[in-house]
């Protein structure tokens, strides 16, 4: 996809999102967040938290990196667990992860 088309695509979808979302959804959480799940997942573009089958807004604090590694995102994970006090942490991996393959064969 050409760069110009990528930006047009983003703008079109953003405009549709803005039109379909009530402003109050964001105003209610403008000064705070209160997720109850910390989700560590791979940055792979095919992996999304929506696999949980729910609206993630203000429910899931998402930490993403290549291969869902804990060490490189320790600060973000600790923030979610100890500052936001999320009682649940999930690690969402996936089959055939390129980052995991690279790490185990390096």
pLDDT of residue 106: 62
Rounded to 5 degrees, what are φ and ψ at 47? -105, 125
Whether the CA torsion 44, 57, 33, 29 is positive or negative: it is positive
CATH 3.40.50.300 holds for 30-105: no
**Sites in the chain below the pLDDT cut of 70:** 106
Domain positions in the chain: 30-105
Distance CA 92, CA 42 (A): 7
pLDDT of residue 76: 97
Average pLDDT, the chain: 91
3-state helix, strand, coil in the chain (%, to 5): 45, 15, 40
* Token pair recorded at residue 45: 């573009």
Nearest to 86 by CA among 105, 58, 65, 66: 58
């Amino acid at each position: 996809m050409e760069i110009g088309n990528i930006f047009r695509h983003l703008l079109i979808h953003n405009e549709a999102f803005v039109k379909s979302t009530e402003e109050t959804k964001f105003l209610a959480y403008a000064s705070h967040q209160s997720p109850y799940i910390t989700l560590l997942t791979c940055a792979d573009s095919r992996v999304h938290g929506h696999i949980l089958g729910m609206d993630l807004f203000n429910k899931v604090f998402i930490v993403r990196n290549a291969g869902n590694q804990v060490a490189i995102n320790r600060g973000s994970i600790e923030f979610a667990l100890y500052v936001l006090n999320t009682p649940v942490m999930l690690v969402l991996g996936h089959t055939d992860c390129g980052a995991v393959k690279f790490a185990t064969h390096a």
